[in-house]
Structure 1
Amino acid sequence: MSSLEHRLATSVLVVGTGGSGLRAAIEIAEARVAVIAVATRTSGDVRTVMTSGCPTGEPSLWPEDTSEQHAVGTLRKGYLPADPRTAQIVARCAAQADRQGCGGTARRRFDDYRYRRTAFADERTGLEVLRALRERAEQLAVPVLPNLYVTRLLVDDGAVFGAYGFDLVDGSRYVVHADSVILATGGHTRIWRRTSSRRGENTGDAFRLAVEAGARLRDPELVQFHPFGLIRPENAAGTLVSEATGGAGGVLLNNLGERFMTRYDPARMELCGPDRIALASYTEIKEGRGTRAGGVWLDLSHLPPETLLTRLPQVHQTLLNLQTLDITRDPIEVTPTAQYSLGGVWVRPEDHSTDVDGLFVTGEAASGLHGANRLQESPLIETLVYGRIAGRAAAEYSARLTSRHRSPAAVRAAEADVNRLGAADGDQNARTLQRSVRHLMTERAGVARDEAGLAAGLAELDTIEARMAYVGVHVDIGGFQDLAYAFDLRSAVLAARATLLCALERRETRGCHNRSDHPDVDPDLHVNLVWSPATGVRREPVPPIPAHIAALMHGVPADAQSLE
């Protein structure tokens, strides 16, 4: 291990440079407060590229479409465990977030069946937002440290004072002292075998870092599975095929050539919500009507080629690049894939602060907005709204501090942890154990779950955790990625345990959470399930919906359909 140690200091440290992390860093820099952002990837590598649209929150096209209507759609789509205060804040701030990165006049309907409130830039909306955020961050000269893997948040007497980590290339250590820290490193969808997340992201590291610092998780069992994930090639498994394929006229077929959605939602077919389609595909596969590789067929070949090339150019090009497959002639083999962590770290709705003083969490790592399902456009607007709010709150927290407590013992403990794991020479391979976690989560806590499977998953996880004590780490000329895998494994096991335990406790079917042994909604489980290692799973009441919002919810369907 490298003996070189870098010591840095700043007012606010942002861990993560996706859309939410960049938005937070921009807010802090614009307030003329010192900020450093750290990323495990190079500065040119970005995330948040799959998003299809961004709700503007502007009612100008339909006078009756208000921020209250937007909040209603969010709460009903989420089957009600979402925090109403969070939904209101996001809806109210949508127009301001639009001016920061979602501009444009083209509008479409997405999940809200009444209004075309979603601004979009064809299939490039996420990329366009990130481009605008990166440009603004560069204008403000926000310092970004690439290839820095954060292993632990530094905490003293219940307050965060920075983070510890190592460089993935040369192994040098970093101690970054900060008055406040914002976690923006994503959710935990990488702990499933097929996921839309790329390698090295959404590993559950935000969950582990927050929990080890003293924070709690809320509703980690609520995970959205996208029905259209690619099966091959292996290095791109889980890559999403846009839901716009359904709007364009794509149909789903099983291995018998049947358009199977006639059995599950004959009125809306492939235009129903992704959770319904994912469960239908999962059922077809489990009952033996899937493809040999464990998928179903998404067929667009009956549509005019000019339609596909005009409406789905990115889908067409992606399949050509990855599989040399022409969607104008051949069907696409797809399967449900973990797409989005609806739960996450417990945060307060007003500023996304946590149980740990000075620690804020934003983006997919946080919880509160989505409940048991989400409007498809909500994550991007949440990224912009709460990136701004958390950035401002972290900057204000830093300004209010009259003294800075920094514990040398906490730094030494973080250093010792990296030293110990870096020198581990056991016979267990971290990546092999990660694959074991992904396998058990897919089999035991995938699209559909039951009591026996979840209990078996916990037993299997105990075995994996016992094997972790004998992991070996091998640093080579290629860098320190193997050490990162070992920490990723820790994150995966913690996130998996929280997910399994909460899924076991939620004995009902609600939104994306399907319990085959409890197929109905249980009114007594209109709660948030909050977990920490110290307390286990606890039920927490969902705050009441304000009367003026509740009055608007009458007659709004719980599962709004997606229409173009």
Structure 2
Amino acid sequence: MFSFKISKEIKTEVLIVGAGAAGIRTAIALKDHGISPILVSKREFGDAHTWMAAGGINASIGTLDNEDRWEIHAADTLREGHFINDPKAVESVCKNAVEAIKELEEWGCPFNKTKDGKINQRFFGAQSFRRTCFVGDKTGRAILDTLVDQAKKRDITCLDGVYIFKIVHKEGKVIGALGLDKKNQEVTFFHSSYVVLAAGGYASIYNKSSSRKDENIGDNIQLAYEAGARLKDMEMVQFHPTGMVYPEEYLGKLVTEAVRGEGGHLLNKHKERFMTQYSPEMMELDARDEVARAIAKEISQGNGTENQGVYLDISHKNEDFIKSRLPKMYERFKELDIDISKEPMEVAPTSHYSMGGIEVDFENGATNVAGLYAVGEATSGLHGANRLGGNSLIETVVLGKLTGENIAKVFRSDTHIDYPSGLLESLENSLMKKNYLKRPQDMMDTVKDMMWKHAGILRNESLLDEGIEKLEKIKSEFRVHSISGSELSFEEWWLNFDLINIVISSELVLKAALIRKESRGAHYREDYPDTEDDYQLNLICFKNKNNEITIETKPSGKISEGVQEALDENHSLDYHQLE
């Protein structure tokens, strides 16, 4: 059995939890301002979830549509977020996106180019212009490699195989974090007055997800919630329209939106192009929530394939075009003996991205807990009720830089808060007394199955109530079948923390979804199918003094005059030119 003792202490100026694009860009900004952060990652450096973001990154550089401008990008983002976005976040990202793309290009990111050497751009859903820059269908991989290279040039430290499971705080101020070190099989206390949460969202609390199983399971949500931070719009989970349906090991894995952006057609089992019924103007490139619901309805009406999916067909395009623009998809399906230049893929919706997350001040990345920051998918604000494809990658590099720069402005090297003697021993004892399971994976699978059924694409009061009841029963079983921490192996400690993250995130999603009695963006209530003006607000979740979830409402922010003008101009793209 594993002896749960805090055996190592590491002091660092800034601790960044997560080494994807958001975390690395934050670290680069800090290092460029003379501050030495430590990145920690559950996986090897360079193997973050960022590389799975395939299709592209948005910026109004106007290569193909020179009338595009950042205000229109912001207007599209707000419109598809159904106006519960944080306007400050939207404006900051869209205004700084062009500069961020230029920086990535200068750092060597190999963007696809036009014949005259400019960065190429493609169509992506629900956008008024072609503003999605790309590296084939491996954009996230290219951006991550570029950032890792820049971090290495700056000698930024990244500790692999470290799982941060608790924020340590005193009198409302961060003093560090506890982590499991997989390589050394030990518990480490990271002593730091500044902690940045950058380890993704919670889309993998569902049994069909585009993430790997140990990613995006709510690590940041649990850390922030237990530390006293406020969370926002936890009910907003994006279900990507096109995930793989077979083989089993590929279930839910992403088939990039770039396939539809390059002209792919969605067909039901009768080979009918069904989007003509649901969105005759925008077709396959309507917003992700609209396309996902259309596919779900086709399947539920008996029009799906034997594998409970629909067809995605790009075979009407030239084979060389497919190989050059969609190399990753071509290679993946070729390995499964499917030639997408000659036959269709089968796809169905998959849990993909969490628009909800930690509430931060987007001027500096700060939470309401002193010394605790968050960036990337860990946060909520940019995307509102639905995320535009291509906006997540640009968020990581724009707001990562902004957060790092703003920490640098307030940073003081003498702010390490001393902790009282006996604190670490007290933490050890309290953790040992909690309830744990010998085989937590079984319960994780049960929760994920429940969430897909009760808080998935199509929701209603009955399903959500039943989901909350089932989760309470699961928590009761947890207590009944629990064992002490002294009986756990290192791996079982690790998996138990996974389970805790999933349970907390699931409860927050269910309860927030029950309160929002309307349909807005990715949150669709069959019993409340309309969008209501009274609900154009944010749901704020936090832990109260009784250690229970409290949910309050907060008005959305004010849109600036320039962005409002762009909204009033009512731009739209004729997606039929893809035919």
The normalised TM-score by structure 1 is 0.92
2:306 maps to 1:296:
no
Quote the residue 1:483 is aligned against.
493
Q: What's the counterpart of residue 518 of structure 1? A: 528
Partner of 1:466: 476
Unaligned runs of 5+ in 2: 112-118
Q: Cα offset for 1:59?
A: 5.8
- Report the Cα offset of residue 65 of structure 1: 3.2
For 1:514, what is the secondary structure of its paired residue? coil
CA 1:90–1:193: 2 relative to 1, 3 Å: same
Cα offset, 1:406, TM superposition: 2.4
Q: Does residue 236 of structure 1 match 2:250?
A: yes
SS of equivalent residue, structure 2 residue 13? strand
- Note the 1:134-533 alignment, pairs <5 A: 134-321=148-335, 323-399=336-412, 402=415, 404-408=417-421, 410-420=423-433, 424=436, 429-469=439-479, 470-471=481-482, 480-533=490-543
Contact 1:77 1:375 in 2 (8 A): yes
- In the alignment, the residues of structure 2 paired with residue 102 and residue 483 of structure 1 have an alpha-carbon distance, to the nearest angstrom, of 42
Do the aligned partners of 1:246 and 1:270 also contact (CA within 8 Å) in 2? yes
CA distance in 2, matches of 1:465, 1:476: 20
| Cα distance between partner residues in 1 of 2:366 and 2:154 | 25
CA distance in 1, matches of 2:441, 2:133: 40
CA contact (8 A) 2:230 2:358 kept: yes
Instruction: State the distance in 2 between where 1:430 and 1:563 align.
Output: 51
Q: Deviations over 1:206-238 (max 9, x none)?
A: 000001001011001111111110122322221
| Paired residues of 2:278 and 2:294 also in contact (CA < 8 A) | yes
Report SS of the residue matched to 2:191: strand
Aligned partner of 2:364: which letter? D
Q: Which of 127, 130, 136 matches 2:144? A: 130
The residue type equivalent to 1:362 in the other structure is V
Tell which deviates more after alignment, 343-352 or 52-61: 52-61
Deviations 1:93-151 (A, max 9, x none): 21332233256422234346443333222212211111111011101111111111111
Structure 2: distance between partners of 1:102 and 1:459: 51
Letter in 2 for 1:377: G
Equivalence for 2:41: 39
1:417 deviates by: 4.7
Paired with 1:475 and 1:99, the residues of 2 have a C-alpha distance of: 53
Q: Alignment partner for residue 99 of structure 1, among 96, 102, 107?
A: 102
Structure 1, unaligned runs of 5 or more: none
Instruction: Kindly indicate whether the alpha-carbon contact (under 8 Å) linking 1:109 and 1:563 is maintained by their aligned counterparts in 2.
Output: no
Question: How high is the TM-score relative to the length of structure 2?
Answer: 0.90
| Alignment RMSD | 2.6
Q: Deviations over 1:183-206 (max 9, x none)?
A: 001000000111111121101010
Distance in 2 between residues matched to 1:117 and 1:548, nearest whole Å: 19
Alignment of 1:102-113 (within 5 A): 104=111, 105-111=119-125, 113=127
Query: Is 1:52–2:65 an aligned residue pair?
Result: no
Identity %: 35
CA distance in 1, matches of 2:124, 2:355: 18
Moved more, 27-36 or 242-251: 242-251
- Residues of 1 paired with 2:484 and 2:160: CA distance? 22
Cα distance in 1 between the residues matched to 2:569 and 2:142: 36
Distance 1:450 1:306, change over 3 A: same
Q: 1:466 to 1:286 in 2, by over 3 A?
A: same
Higher mean Cα deviation, 27-36 or 522-531? 27-36
Give the Cα separation in 2 of the matches to 1:361 and 1:45. 20
